[in-house]
Amino acid sequence: MNQDRSLIGWLAVPAVAYLVFVYALPLLWLLARSITGPEGISFALFRDFFADPFSWRVIGNTMRIAGLVTLVCLLVGYPVAFALARAKGVVQVILLAAIILPLSVGVVVKAFAWQVVLRRDGVVSQFLVGIGVWSEPQRLLFTETGLVIGAANVFLPFMILPIYSVVKLIDPRLMEAGATLGVGPFRRLFRILLPLTLPGVVSGIAFVFSLAVSMFVIPSLLIGDRFQTLATLTGRSFLLMRNEALGSVTATVLLVLAVMIVLLSSLLARRAGRFS
Amino acid sequence: MTASERIAQALMWVIAGCAVIFLLTPLVVTVAVSFGNSAVFTLPPPEWSFRWYERLANTRGLWPSIITSVQIAGLSTLISLVLGTLCAIAIVRGRFPGRDAIATFLVSPLMLPGLVVGIAMLQGFRLIGLREAWTSLLMAHVVITMPYVVRTVLAALSLFDFTLLDAARMLGCSPAQAVRRVLVPALGPAFLTSGMFAFLASMDNYPVSIFFTDAWTKTLPIQMLQYVEERPDPTIAAISAGLILLAVIVMIIGDRLVGLRKLADF
């Protein structure tokens, strides 16, 4: 079949051509339109956008929420990834199912469920009053805390799985060897485990942060219109305000941000991989 | 094991237990609400009932949106399976430069904000004069489903031993027969799992679909969000419970085909 192998490359053409025309060229067109004014290339749209204090509040909201969501996912996801790697039998099946099943359920379903959970009479409020943390029921829905909880719930698997994929490769005897050589538990954590898991942590952070920066349905349902992020503002300017100039600018900012996160994380992951 | 290590271990299991509860909360709450008789989402429900499921039959716009979603998800998955598999074969077997770049390119829609991809495609379709909602949705959803197919089929193909095809040829199979009897069965599990997850991704998509719907053509998530905004009642929970059931079935089939651990590979 050797004569076929030079021709086999042509099999890639339909898929690549399709994505170039339907996906890549439109994205480039979006970028091009955001930097063209009536007379050729102009950055006026961006200048106006970045001169407006409102824009900076929106960018601040986006970054703060994405940062908090990523932090919560990292703090919860890191130990869970280890538990998943150590678990056996039924425990492992339960953990895996609890991580994979929510991934296949749509974000509208989950965001709607959190609307129910975070209400004043929802289960979180009932639970916190029940154990005495709160003296009276409170509403978490339409607050930043509620948004962070809901978003962290939706994105947690994207933190656990990349970390798990490196943790499962670590030889548990490494830690024992460290202990035998008299290295203390904290030094073992910081000198052995953290460096080895760093590539997974970096890609987990990149996944969750970029998902949280561009989430649209979750803030729409859990915090409402008073609180705007880059993604909700982009959606609103196209769907409600019919302000496509503003929408293309925020869409471009989001796109650049997403590409930067991907590039930065692959660079960092490569470096982390080299050091360990 | 020292005392501090034992504490760290215990803490790890406690956090893992809490995480399982946390991850499953939205699903369990949705199912519980859907079987309750309370219209204001009281939990635990005062009484169990099927009233929200009975309502599904005459919820306006629900069935057309389900039909649209299934059509779009089914067709776009099928197109992606064909185009994606051909491309994956070219990447694994071909000898041309930039094969890694092509693989990254085909998976990249998964890494970019859906909203931005949707807006770009909306403007692109307008430019060529395509305004028909159903066709636009289908074309956009092929881009959404492609990464799932390419990722999984590429992984399966790189494990496939292509000399088996030569062996089949030597044993008297025609090239087409060799592909049908050796390659297709070997890739079967990859087709099924990637197809299922691509189908689900299309069924659940909101941020891209929202730009391509009109008053008559809506996908299920768009229709659901409209219900949430217009009159939130547990009928939405009943629809959601159906989608959760679908996800459970897909996960069980995926587990039987390739195993849960394999599904967790990232």
Q: What is the pLDDT of residue A106?
A: 92
Task: List the single residue in A79, A116, A262 with the smallest CB-CB distance to B12.
Answer: A79
* Distance (Å) from the alpha carbon of A95 to chain B's nearest alpha carbon: 7
Question: Nearest-CA neighbor of B86 among B139, B144, B157, B178?
Answer: B157
pLDDT of residue A276: 52
Question: pLDDT tens digits, residue range B44-95?
Answer: 888 888 989 998 888 888 999 999 999 999 999 999 999 999 999 999 988 8
Which residue, A157, A211, A66, A91, is CA-closest to B26? A157
CA-based nearest residue in chain B for residue A109: B240
Nearest to B26 among A27, A93, A113 (CB): A113
Q: What average pLDDT does range B194-221 have in this prediction?
A: 94
Tens-place pLDDT, residues A122-151: 888 888 898 888 888 888 999 999 999 999
- Please check the confidence at residue B25 and state whether its pLDDT lies above 50: yes
Q: For residue A1, what pLDDT band results from cuts at 50, 70 and 90?
A: very low
The whole-number pLDDT of residue B126 equals: 92
Q: Which residue of A has its CA nearest to B86?
A: A11
Domain A54-275 sits in CATH at 1.10.3720.10
Cα dist from A84 to A81, A162, B3, B27, whole Å: 5, 12, 22, 21
Instruction: Specify the CATH class of B62-217 in words.
Output: mainly alpha
What's the helix, strand, coil split of chain A in %, to 5? 80, 0, 20
Higher per-residue confidence, A273 vs A126: A126
Residue B1 has pLDDT above 90, yes or no: no
A266 or A15: which leads in pLDDT: A15
- CA-CA distance, B148 to B152, in Å (whole number)? 6
Q: What is the pLDDT of residue B266?
A: 66
Stretch A246-274: mean pLDDT: 87
Answering whether pTM is above 0.90, one says: yes
**Structure tokens belonging to residue A36:** 């063209």
**Partner B contacted by A14 (CB < 8 A):** yes
- pLDDT of A274 strictly over 70: no
Which residue in A has a C-alpha nearest to residue B198's C-alpha?
A104
Q: Residue ranges of the domains in chain B? A: 62-217
Say what the pLDDT of residue A257 is: 92
Percent of chain A with pLDDT over 70: 97
pLDDT at site A269: 80
**Is the torsion defined by CA of B227, B230, B235, B241 positive or negative?**
positive
pLDDT at B213 over 60: yes
Q: What percent of chain A has pLDDT over 90?
A: 59
Let me know how long chain A is.
276
- Written as one letter, the residue type at A41 is I
Residues of B in contact with A254 (CB under 8 A): 113, 115-116
Q: What is the ipTM of this complex?
A: 0.91
* pLDDT digit string, tens, across residues A154-163: 999 999 999 9
Range 178-217 of B in CB contact (< 8 A) with A:
197, 200, 203-204, 206-207, 210-211
Chain A neighbors of B111, CB-CB under 8 A:
210, 258, 262
Is the pLDDT at A37 greater than 90? The verdict is no
